[in-house]
Structure 1
Amino acid sequence: MAQFGFENDIHSILKLDMPITNAPMARWQRKASSSNASALNGLSPGKSANVSLSTTKTPNKTPGKHKKQTPSKMGCDRFIPTRNSKQMDVASFLLTKENETVDTNEQNATSENQKAMSMSLNGYNIEEAKILHLGGKPLNAPEGYQNNLKVLYSQGATPASVKKTRHISSTPDRILDAPEFRNDFYLNLLDWSSSNVLAVALHNCVYLLDASQGEITLLMKLEREEDYICSLSWTKEGSYLAIGTSDCQTQLWDVYNQKHLRSMASHTSRVASLSWNDHVLSSGSRSGHIHHHDVRVANHHIATLTGHSQEVCGLQWSPDGRYLASGGNDNMVYVWPRVQDGPANQAVYCWSEHQGAVKALAWCPWQPNILASGGGTSDRHIRIWNVNSGSCISSLDTQSQVSSLVFAPNYKELVSAHGYAHNNVVIWKYPSLTRVAELNGHEERVLSLILSPDFSTVATVAGDETIRMWKSFELDPIKKKAKERLAKSNSGVIHQSIR
């Protein structure tokens, strides 16, 4: 019994997949039956000829709108003729031509509307002012057209923002003959005064060149022919000149009156270096000693500095007068304090990093605590020192003997003179020490260089017996006027404070 019950259940389930006999007629069946009935009625002779076409009503998706009546495919009295392929091609061509005419008219109308709108909004037809064009040559902008976006997005620099490049001439401004110039690395035979007078020593004579007027005068000449000038140094005011000689003398001359004021004897060998600090004149000799002379008093020798074991060929006081830097043939660099600031014979710093004679010394005018030194043939390095900390800030191998150094404040640069093997002058950017320019022209080693009082020109003297002047640091006229106005205002403040 259980088996029969299970089979009945299976049959009842399978009946769900069988057609439903009692269900209403499907829509397609109703439409087919109605179409057949209409066709039969139209063909039967008993019916009237005014039988209307049967329609099937399709309910509209949107309520409230009129229902569309779709004519039935069956029972239609429309006559469709049979056409061949040629007729079909002709008909297709005529329909396409008609559509093209309509599209062309519509496009012309749209183009006219766009042109009118562009004229009213922009004042010109934008289609005629396009920059990008698909074919042919680019169209020119209409006459009088100005692009307002050019000011905002132009990549070209305006004249106000153009950075003027500085021109450094590779040829000297002036060349002077210096016959009988002594080709000695350890001597200092060139100096430029604050009154724009250049002093140069030629063997046993000292000549003065007025750089503003070009006049050359002979200041002095040593009595003995075998003696020679070893060093020159102007006072800060530029009215007095100190001269060191090979006969151990230090002479003081009044330049304006061309008068020999005094000779100060204290050294036992030639005086190769000189430097002024107000009324104190410091002199270095081949013996390695440095003497301080107070030129105001009869007993001029006030102190002796002993540190170098060989000739003192470099000597420079700092701009603020606090320190004296000395370099010697013993490859040493010393920094000495003023007499009133400490023991007279005790150095503040002693640096031995150089491997050659140190003649080139220069203090930075805008940073009084910075000292630059240069080594000779065995060293070839420029070193930058900080006298506050006593450390070497930077070092540069120049690949050539360094004979002289000077800072150029107009452009914050350092200038170096070189002997073997390049015999040139190099301008370095400070403090990066990147090469700015090279000044070539001397045929032998450059022994000394000095900066003009307006910091625009550097003068160099070499073993080829020529003096060359290079205008490498001239300021722009605008900057020059601003600097002059600042100097006048500062001088006015000083005079008012003195009064």
Structure 2
Amino acid sequence: MKRGRDDDDEGGRETTRPRFTGSYSSSSTPVRPSPLRGANHATPSSASRSAGYGDRFIPAPAEDMDTRYLLRGSKDMQFRCWGHPVPPDPAKKASDSLFASMLRTESVQDSSPPSQAPGPATPSRRRIFSYFTPNVPPMKMTPTPVRASAVDKENSVSALSRLLLKRHCRPERPNEISRSPYRILDAPGLSSDFYSDLLDISSTGAIAVALKSTVFVCQLDQDGSVKKLCDIHPSTIGSIKWSTRNPSLIAVGSECGHIYIYDLNNPSQAVREYHQAHTKRIGSLSWNGDMIASGSRDEHFHHRDIRMGSSKAIRVRSHTKEVNNAIWSCGDDPALFASAGSDDTVRIWDFRLSVRAQNKRQENELYAFREHKSTIKGLAWSPHVAGVLASGGGLDDRMIRFWCAKKGAGLSKIDTGGQVLKLAWSKTSHEILSTQGLSRNPWMQNTVRIWRYPDLTPVATLVGHTERPSALAMSPVGDVVVTGGADETLRLWDVFPKEPPGRKRVSSCSRVTDFDKLIR
């Protein structure tokens, strides 16, 4: 960039420039300036006033830039930590939204009453920008104010802001959710199969995890050793489930269709063996007292009473594709049974015929829900409201849907944004937990999410797994959740409040389906 003639000397020599005032014509006789151009005529007073400011003018904005920054409309910023995406915090997002709403209400209020539209008038000559040197007013010494009372603090904001606070305020949770696991266990060889169920916790706090063909057990509240329970080599385990009546019994389903019942106190030999219980993989097991239900890839689920040895099981062909999950309800009526399959349907059964429609036969389902658009694996009965069932769909569906089993109707739904792997209800609060797999949003992939029911608002998002957490189990008192994933780790999260001692658990199966009524 070339310097002008006025910039040749940097030593501070002052250059005198001619100042042109008034108007000029082509003749040699000067013309008196017109009164309409008097604003451009430099009087001695104006010349002395402008001499102290130079030839650079910066407009002074009339509003506070800090307030303008906080009122800006911008998208939420996502931050990354060590190369891994960090999902947004729902609580912080709601708090920021409330703060912005209150700031907008307090800073941009129209105190003047509304007036009618003005009529035609001469345009104002007021300048848009004002060129001046801001004058800082002298600081006024004021006495220290007395601490405001609670009433003064409440009245320090407008009525609209108080209404916003009242609408957004919720009762605090009984405990604070820990965003990181308090314990991590190695699980080498833990499968990431979407259709398997390889993790469970007994009523005494024994964690059982299936690694290929072996089941290992460790105590939830101890940092001690891990015990090998059984090995069904050469077959591979597809599902495991602790008994709800006898906490030392565990059922093991294999990939080739066998079912084994083992006793934790005497693991040397299986208590019961059901060879060729199914013709294909057993991916789901569920206990109801002494009865065990199994769902398989052969499109059937079976019911067996372990007290009757190798007696013939009740076989029901429920779905047109694999049965991914089959669970008994454990509320006031444990006869209700739900199944979910790869045919994108959720089916509810009543094997005691207590609420069955008159035109329904025993081998037919009570209700069938076909609203999901993908494979369904997550399935959980509510321990708080009898007959409420939650189901979660795969990547093409991404929905958690809630059903009323007594009326056969859908209640509500929530789009999770990703693949729903497993579901678990809190035993002490109206909240439901979901494990998320593949997702179109990288911030929600391989996470554990907690939702408030029934308004279905997100409570927390737990991050830690590097692969999808396909295994999920909850402690007997309901405070700890264990998740397992293809990253070969088991992570223990303290997320829910403990169940009060002596409280009658709605979800405990106190009654057993009458097996004699099922035999014709």
Measured against the shorter chain, the TM-score band is 0.5 to 0.7
Structure 2 letter corresponding to 1:484: P
The aligned counterpart of 1:221 is 231
Deviations 1:227-266 (A, max 9, x none): 2000011111322100000121111011122242011132
Q: Which residue of the partner structure matches residue 381 of structure 1?
A: 399
Indicate which of 417, 437, 444 corresponds to 2:467.
444
Residue 411 in 1 paired to residue 429 in 2?
yes
Q: Which amino acid aligns with 2:389?
A: L
Helix, strand or coil: the match of 2:363?
coil
Shift of the 384–180 alpha-carbon distance from structure 1 to 2, 3 Å rule, reads same
Aligned AA for 2:345? M
Tell me the distance in 1 between the aligned counterparts of 2:390 and 2:145.
Answer: 63
Q: Following TM superposition, by how much is the alpha carbon of 1:439 offset from its aligned partner in structure 2, in angstroms? A: 0.6
Q: Which residue does 1:323 correspond to in 2?
A: 336
Q: Distance in 2 between the 1:271 and 1:139 partners?
A: 75
Query: How far did residue 449 of structure 1 move?
Result: 1.3
Q: Which position in structure 1 is the counterpart of 2:447? A: 424
Aligned partner letter, 1:206: V
Aligned match of 1:137: 142
Q: For the pair shown, which has the larger CA radius of gyration, 1 or 2?
A: 1
- Checking the alignment, whether the CA contact within 8 Å between 1:291 and 1:301 is kept in structure 2 is no
Residue 465 of structure 1 deviates from its aligned partner by 1.1
C-alpha displacement of 1:302: 3.2
Secondary structure at 1:182 match in 2: coil
Is 1:263–2:273 an aligned residue pair?
yes
After superposition, what is the alpha-carbon deviation per residue over 1:42-83, rounded to whole angstroms, capped at 9, x for unaligned? xxxxxxxxxxxxxxxxxxxxxxxxxxxxxxxxxxxxxxxxxx
Contact 1:312 1:326 in 2 (8 A): yes
SS at match of 2:308: coil
Q: Which amino acid aligns with 1:138?
A: P
Deviation at 1:309, TM superposition (A): 1.4
Cα 1:454–1:291 change in 2 (3 A) is same
CA contact (8 A) 2:212 2:237 kept: yes
TM-score by length of 2: 0.61
Q: Choose between structure 1 and 2 for higher RCO, CA contacts under 8 A separated by at least 6 residues.
A: 2
Inter-CA distance 184–338: structure 2 relative to 1 (3 Å threshold): same
Task: Give the match for residue 81 of structure 1.
Answer: none
Q: Is residue 440 of structure 2 the alignment partner of residue 435 of structure 1?
A: no
**Are 2:285 and 1:285 aligned?**
no
Question: How much has 1:346 moved relative to structure 2?
Answer: 1.5
**TM-score, normalising length: structure 1:** 0.63
Aligned CA distance change for structure 1 residues 485 and 445 (closer, same or farther; 3 Å): closer
Paired letter, 1:241: I
Judged with a 3 Å threshold, the aligned counterparts in structure 2 of structure 1 residues 339 and 163 are, in CA distance, closer, same or farther, namely closer
Q: Which of 472, 475, 481 is the matching residue for 2:495?
A: 472
Counterpart of 2:378 (choices 324, 341, 360) is 360
Unaligned runs of 5+ in 1: 1-134, 142-146, 157-161, 489-499
Matched-pair identity in %: 35
Q: Partner residue of 2:501?
A: 484
Partner of 2:160: none
Query: What SS does structure 2 have at the residue aligned with 1:296?
Result: helix
Amino acid in structure 1 at the alignment position of 2:455: S
Q: Distance in 2 between matches of 1:248 and 1:360?
A: 22
Q: SS of 2:270's equivalent?
A: strand
State whether residues 274 and 310 of structure 2, in contact with CA within 8 Å, keep that contact through their aligned partners in structure 1: no
User: Aligned partner of 2:244: which letter?
Assistant: K
Cα distance between partner residues in 2 of 1:269 and 1:460: 26
Check if 1:461 corresponds to 2:469: no
- C-alpha distance in 2, partners of 1:315/1:169? 31
**Aligned partners of 2:172 and 2:412: how far apart in 1?**
30
**1:304, 1:344 within 8 Å by CA — same for their partners in 2?**
no
Which one has the bigger helix percentage?
1
Q: What residue is the counterpart of 2:203 in the other structure? A: 194
In the other structure, the counterpart of 2:411 is 393
Distance 1:329 1:338 in 2: 23
Report how far residue 291 of structure 1 moved.
Answer: 0.5
Q: How many Å separate the matches in 1 of 2:412 and 2:144?
A: 61
Call closer, same or farther: CA 1:205–1:430 in 2, change over 3 Å: same
Distance 1:163 1:450 in 2: 27
Give the 5 Å matches for 1:215-254.
Answer: 215-224=225-234, 227-237=235-245, 238-254=247-263
The verdict on how the C-alpha distance between 1:486 and 1:230 changes in structure 2, with shifts beyond 3 A counting, is closer
Partner AA of 1:233 in structure 2: K
- CA deviation vs aligned residue, 1:318-365 (integer Å, no higher than 9, x gap): 113121111111111111112565654221011111111111000000
Task: Describe the SS at the equivalent of 2:470.
Answer: strand
The alpha-carbon deviation at position 170 of structure 1 amounts to 1.4
- Cα RMSD between the aligned structures? 2.5
Give the structure 2 partner of residue 179 of structure 1. Answer: 188
Alpha-carbon spacing, 1:439–1:274, altered in 2? closer, same or farther (3 Å): same
Q: Letter of the aligned partner of 1:398 in structure 2? A: T
- How many Å apart are 1:486 and its aligned residue? 4.9
Shift of 1:196: 0.3
Cα deviation for residue 459 of structure 1 reads: 0.6
* Matched position secondary structure for 1:260: coil
Tell whether 2:334 aligns with 1:310.
Answer: no
Distance, in Å, in 2 between the alignment partners of 1:339 and 1:267 is: 24
Deviation at 1:411, TM superposition (A): 2.3
Q: Note closer, same or farther for the CA distance 1:485–1:379 as it changes in structure 2 (3 Å cut).
A: closer
8 Å contact 2:284–2:294 — kept in the other structure?
A: yes
Following superposition, the deviation at residue 287 of structure 1 comes to 0.5
- The Cα offsets for residues 419-440 of structure 1, whole Å up to 9 and x where unpaired, read as 1021111000011110000011
Distance 2:316 2:352 in 1: 10
Mapped contact 1:304–1:345 kept (Cα < 8 A): no
Alignment coverage as a number of residue pairs: 337
1:469 maps to a residue whose letter is L
Structure 2 gaps of 5+ residues are: 1-139, 156-169, 440-444, 506-520
